[in-house]
C-alpha cells in the first residue's frame, strides 16, 4: 500500500477517534459543569436529577451537550450496520431528551406529556449506550486480543453494567422510595454516575485511555 492510498484511511481513523473522544469528553464533563455551574450561576442546592438542570440558567449547557452528543453519534460510523443503527438510535434519543424537557415543579398537561417523552428518550439513550459498551465495543476481529484490548474490554463491561445498574436503581428509588430518599437526590447521583461511565467508555474507545502499545 502506498503512502498516497494510506492517507484517506488514516484520516478516517483519526476522524472516528476524534468523534469518540468528543463524546467521551461531553459525558465526563457534563455532570460537573451542571452541578458546579448552578452553584456559581444560580446558587442554591442540588436538584433532583441531571435533567432538572434544564429548568435553570444552565439550560443551554444541558441542551447543547445533548444535541452535540446526538450530532456526533449521527456522524459516527462503526464497523458494521449494527454499529450505525445503534448510533442513530442513541443520537435520536439524545436530541429527543434535550428537546423534550423533564417535568417541572408545577406542570401543565403539555409539560407532563413532554416529561413522559423525556423519560422514554432517556431510557432509550442509556440502554443504547449500555449496548455499545457491553456488545459492540467488546467485539474484536482477532482470535487472540492484545493485553490492552482485554483491559479495554474490562472497562467496557464495567461501564456498561454500571449504566444498567444505575437505570434499575433509579427506577426502584422512584417507584418505592421517592419520599424517603428525596433529600439524598438519588436520581441525580445515579444519573451522574451513568453519564460518567458512558464518558469513560467512549474515551477508552477513542484511544484516550488504554490505547494499544506500539509494536517493538
The string of pLDDT tens digits covering residues 137-180 is 998 877 777 888 999 999 999 999 999 999 999 999 998 988 88
Q: Is 30 contained in some domain?
A: yes
> What cell does 196 get?
460518567
- pLDDT given for residue 1 in this prediction: 43
**185/109 Cα distance (integer angstroms):** 25
Residue owning grid cell 406542570: 107
Residue at 3 is within a domain: no
Would you say 188 and 47 are in contact if contact means Cβ atoms under 8 Å apart? yes
Q: How confident is the model at residue 93 (pLDDT cuts 50, 70, 90)?
A: very high
Residue 213 belongs to some domain of the structure:
no
**Number of domains present in the structure of the chain:** 1
Higher pLDDT, 104 or 14: 104
Residue 211 lies in a domain: no
6 pLDDT above the threshold of 50: no
Cα 60 to Cα 119: distance, rounded to the nearest angstrom: 19
Taking residues 87-106, what's their average pLDDT? 94
Residue 214 covered by a domain: no
- What pLDDT, on a 0 to 100 scale, did the predictor assign at position 4? 46
The residue range of the domain holding 173 is 9-205
Residue 28 CA to residue 112 CA, distance in Å, equals 29
Amino acid at each position: 500500500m502506498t503512502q498516497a492510498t494510506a492517507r484517506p484511511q488514516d484520516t478516517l481513523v483519526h476522524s472516528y477517534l476524534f468523534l469518540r473522544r468528543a463524546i467521551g469528553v461531553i459525558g465526563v464533563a457534563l455532570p460537573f459543569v451542571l452541578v458546579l455551574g448552578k452553584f456559581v450561576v444560580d446558587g442554591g442546592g442540588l436538584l433532583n436529577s441531571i435533567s432538572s438542570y434544564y429548568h435553570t440558567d444552565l439550560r443551554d449547557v444541558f441542551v447543547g451537550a445533548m444535541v452535540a452528543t446526538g450530532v456526533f453519534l449521527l456522524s459516527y460510523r462503526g464497523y458494521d450496520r449494527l454499529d450505525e443503527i445503534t448510533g442513530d438510535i442513541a443520537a435520536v434519543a439524545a436530541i429527543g431528551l434535550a428537546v423534550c424537557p423533564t417535568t417541572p415543579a408545577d406542570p401543565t398537561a403539555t409539560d407532563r406529556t413532554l416529561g413522559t417523552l423525556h423519560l422514554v428518550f432517556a431510557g432509550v439513550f442509556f440502554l443504547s449506550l449500555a449496548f455499545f459498551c457491553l456488545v459492540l465495543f467488546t467485539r474484536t476481529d482477532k482470535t487472540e486480543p492484545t493485553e490492552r484490548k482485554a483491559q479495554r474490554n474490562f472497562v467496557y463491561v464495567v461501564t456498561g453494567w454500571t449504566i444498567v445498574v444505575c437505570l434499575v436503581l433509579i427506577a426502584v428509588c422512584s417507584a418505592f422510595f421517592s419520599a424517603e430518599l428525596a433529600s439524598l437526590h438519588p436520581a441525580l447521583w445515579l444519573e451522574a454516575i451513568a453519564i460518567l461511565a458512558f464518558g469513560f467508555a467512549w474515551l477508552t474507545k477513542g484511544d484516550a485511555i488504554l490505547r494499544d502499545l506500539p509494536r517493538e
